[in-house]
Amino acid sequence: MTRACRKTFPRPEATASLGANVAAAPSNPSDLLLLAVDLQPGLLAALDPAGTLARDCRFALAAATGLGLPVAFTEQVPAKLGATPAALRAAAPAAPAWAKQAFSALGDEKIRAALLGPTGPRHLLLAGIETPICVYQTAIDALRADLEVTVLTDCVGARRPADAAAALDALARLGCHLLPAETVFYALVQAAGHPFFRGLTALVKARADEHRSAGPNL
């Protein structure tokens, strides 16, 4: 698999050449980890009152679990912002949840060692909040650790859309992949003969039905 990042973090003037990699999609499940950043009640209430982001993240978590990908949650100061909602945890029941104070999930040495140890992933899928703060800083640290990074663009959120757009544009110029979750997971399945194709299609339909019914927030 082509690596989008380099062992040395790219200088701003050197980032243009990395832009050609942004349209690529991950294709090797064994290399991947889905990290769900700070999907907590205290943040979701402010950023996602209609529950749209929570439903999209639940889809990504369930799709990753169905494909057998490792999943992990982080929680920013959970004593104040709350724990990840049970409905999201249920989509990836085996996934650990790591409390943190640093904005970057990889800024905490304990979390970094657990996620990126000797057998850790080569490619990080990112979902969660908030795009221009914790998601952005986690992506930057992952690039510095020589990981490929894909931000699931429909599974991240922010208080100010303009801030999120600026952060995602900067990450793209640094070599991150920016893709919606369906694109990524269908790229991993690749063909209708895949064992999880029917399961993924069912999740896609369920997400569409949930959005149409505009159910309550998690």
Contact predicate 37/158, CB 8 Å: no
Minimal CA–CA distance to 74: which of 54, 102, 46, 32?
102
Looking at the domain assignment, is residue 3 inside a domain? no
Q: Residue for token digits 């922010």?
A: 158
Compute the average pLDDT of residues 71-85: 97
Q: What CATH number is attached to the domain comprising 103?
A: 3.40.50.850
Compute the average pLDDT of residues 49-69: 96
Tokens of 182: 């369906």
Q: What is the mean pLDDT of the chain?
A: 87
Helices and strands, number each (H, E), in the chain: 9, 6
Q: In this predicted structure, what is the pLDDT of residue 25?
A: 62
> For 96-119, how does the pLDDT look when each residue is reduced to its tens digit (9 = 90+)?
999 999 999 999 999 999 988 888
Lowest mean pLDDT among 14-18, 62-66, 126-130, 208-212: 14-18
What is the domain extent for residue 136?
A: 29-211
Positive/negative CA dihedral, 78, 143, 122, 178: positive
Q: How many domains does the chain have?
A: 1
Contact predicate 183/158, CB 8 Å: no
Q: What are phi and psi of 4, to 5 degrees?
A: -85, -15
Distances in whole angstroms, Cα of residue 161 to Cα of each of 43, 79, 110, 144, 150: 15, 27, 32, 26, 19
Compute the average pLDDT of residues 203-213: 91
**What's the pTM value of the predicted model, to 2 decimals?**
0.86
